[in-house]
């Protein structure tokens, strides 16, 4: 029996509110060159009055010679944060990183910045370095923990929370003026495809797919959800998390705003660790290997491990894979190995790529061949009237 699985990247959905698409920041945080684009004058002039905390973040990182605006992708910025978090034990054995030249003073400052960033983000205040202070909540918990691995996990959760919400702010959905990618939904949600649809795997944080399904009164569910669902429901597996998810210190994810009528950016109760919650988003690169080990030392990733396992099962149980808007960027080694491992178990699987920008086709096909060991069936979205015909041909 034929089963088709869609793998969707940021090229397939906007992930930005209508307001943002009409602003100088009309590009996605997962776009290549995102941080470089932020450095353009037209963007900086828009950011400062509208996103004061983001402005401060950029200035702070640049001040400490991280040169964040020179980095070319979201993967690069998360690799940078990965380097920072690995330098937790800066005693006699502390060594400055040769690439980013992190010294002890800089490291202290970046921790101080991350620990207080949340309050200033929500208050919309621009504060100077001299006024920054460690959060008592952050320090008490961090110092009370003796296990070094647990300290690293805790710091990743607390400090990473702030950066994730920075991304969430740019991804937040304008529910009042919701719109969707018509090419995407017309491709996926037609009667023939729905009859053999094995689910959707996406790397996007936005909820545009969910909003579309709700508007059409179509059932969907997330694999980690305990909610009852119909056999005809569509499974949406979101490997990098979602703006309408939040998870606590035990790694349990709950879906907030089931009707998606409000924008969710995650939150945290700073009075008790039992009430700790953050936006359930994982970065494209940082600590993704932890998903394989959902033990007590990596509890923030416990539910995400189940989500990734569901994606693996979906791949294994599918006869056809259609990739739409995802270019398998270089540098995400965990994802490369993930697909290589599970595709090897399913050698007869057929793969198609719906090309969005009609560019870099040869380079993309080489990447696919390296990862999957096969050349993908090519569908050019520029010829929109032929998409359905080509897709049906691929699925025969």
Rg (CA), the chain: 21
Domain extent, residue 53, equals 18-171
Report in angstroms the alpha-carbon separations of 23 from 29, 32, 182, 278, 279: 14, 18, 21, 28, 25
Share of the chain above pLDDT 70, in %: 36
- The answer to which of 142-146, 274-278, 353-357 has the lowest mean pLDDT is 274-278
For residues 9 and 25, membership in a common domain is answered with: no
In tens, the pLDDT along 44-103 reads 787 677 655 556 555 555 544 444 434 434 444 444 444 444 443 333 333 433 333 444
Give 117 or 307, the one with higher predicted confidence. 307
For residues 108 and 56, membership in a common domain is answered with: yes
> Which residues does residue 168 pair with via DSSP β-bridges, in sequence order?
none
d(CA 164, CA 218): 30
Domain CATH code at residue 342: 3.40.50.1220
In tens, the pLDDT along 8-21 reads 887 666 544 455 56
Chosen domain end from 171, 194, 213: 171
In contact, 10 and 181? CB cutoff 8 Å? no
For residues 339 and 383, membership in a common domain is answered with: yes
Task: Give me the residue label for tokens 């605006």.
Answer: 69
In tens, the pLDDT along 238-281 reads 988 887 777 765 667 777 655 554 444 434 333 444 555 556 77
Task: Give me the residue label for tokens 């970046």.
Answer: 110
Helix (H, G, I), strand (E, B) or coil at 25: coil
The alpha-helical segments, DSSP class H, found in 125-235 are: 136-144, 148-171, 182-188, 191-196, 208-215
Per DSSP, 8 falls in state E
Q: How confident is the model at residue 359 (pLDDT cuts 50, 70, 90)?
A: low
For residues 115 and 186, membership in a common domain is answered with: no
Top mean pLDDT of 113-122, 135-144, 338-347 is at 338-347
Q: How confident is the model at residue 130 (pLDDT cuts 50, 70, 90)?
A: very low
For residues 58 and 128, membership in a common domain is answered with: yes
> Which residues does residue 235 pair with via DSSP β-bridges, in sequence order?
221
Chosen domain end from 149, 171, 193: 171
For residues 129 and 200, membership in a common domain is answered with: no
For residues 227 and 88, membership in a common domain is answered with: no
d(CA 381, CA 176): 29
Per-residue confidence (pLDDT) for residue 240, from 0 to 100 = 82
Q: How many structural domains is the chain composed of? A: 2
Q: Is the pLDDT of residue 167 over 90?
A: no
The alpha-helical segments, DSSP class H, found in 64-181 are: 74-86, 104-123, 136-144, 148-171
């Amino acid at each position: 029996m034929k089963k088709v699985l869609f793998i969707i990247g940021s090229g397939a959905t906007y992930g930005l509110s209508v307001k943002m698409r009409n602003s100088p920041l009309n590009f996605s945080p997962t776009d290549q060159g995102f941080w470089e684009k932020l450095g353009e004058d037209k963007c900086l002039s828009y950011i400062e009055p509208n996103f004061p905390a983001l402005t401060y973040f950029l200035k702070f990182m640049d001040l400490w010679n991280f040169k964040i605006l020179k980095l070319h992708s979201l993967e690069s910025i998360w690799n940078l944060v990965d380097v920072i978090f690995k330098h937790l034990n800066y005693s006699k054995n502390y060594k400055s990183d040769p690439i980013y030249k992190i010294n002890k003073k800089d490291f202290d400052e970046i921790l101080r910045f991350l620990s207080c960033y949340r309050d200033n983000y929500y208050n919309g205040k621009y504060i100077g370095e001299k006024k920054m202070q460690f959060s008592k909540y952050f320090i008490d918990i961090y110092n009370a923990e003796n296990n070094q691995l647990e300290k690293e996990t805790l710091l990743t959760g607390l400090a990473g929370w702030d950066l994730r919400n920075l991304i969430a702010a740019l991804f937040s959905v304008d529910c009042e003026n919701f719109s969707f990618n018509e090419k995407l939904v017309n491709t996926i949600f037609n009667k023939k495809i729905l009859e053999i649809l094995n689910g959707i795997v996406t790397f996007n944080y936005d909820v545009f797919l969910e909003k579309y399904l709700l508007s059409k009164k179509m059932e969907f569910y997330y694999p980690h959800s305990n909610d009852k669902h119909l056999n005809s429901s569509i499974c949406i597996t979101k490997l990098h998390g979602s703006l309408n998810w939040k998870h606590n210190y035990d790694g349990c994810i709950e879906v907030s705003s089931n009707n998606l009528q409000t924008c969710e950016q995650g939150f945290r109760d700073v009075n008790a660790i039992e009430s700790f919650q953050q936006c359930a988003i994982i970065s494209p690169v940082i600590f993704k290997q932890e998903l394989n080990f959902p033990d007590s030392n990596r509890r923030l990733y416990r539910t995400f491990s189940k989500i990734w396992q569901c994606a693996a099962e979906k791949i294994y149980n599918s006869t056809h894979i259609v990739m739409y808007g995802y270019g398998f960027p270089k540098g995400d080694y965990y994802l490369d190995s993930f697909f290589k491992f599970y595709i090897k178990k399913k050698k007869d699987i057929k793969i198609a790529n719906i090309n969005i920008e009609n560019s870099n086709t040869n380079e993309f096909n080489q990447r696919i061949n390296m990862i999957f060991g096969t050349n993908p069936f090519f569908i050019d979205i520029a010829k929109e009237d032929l998409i359905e015909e080509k897709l049906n041909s691929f699925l025969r």
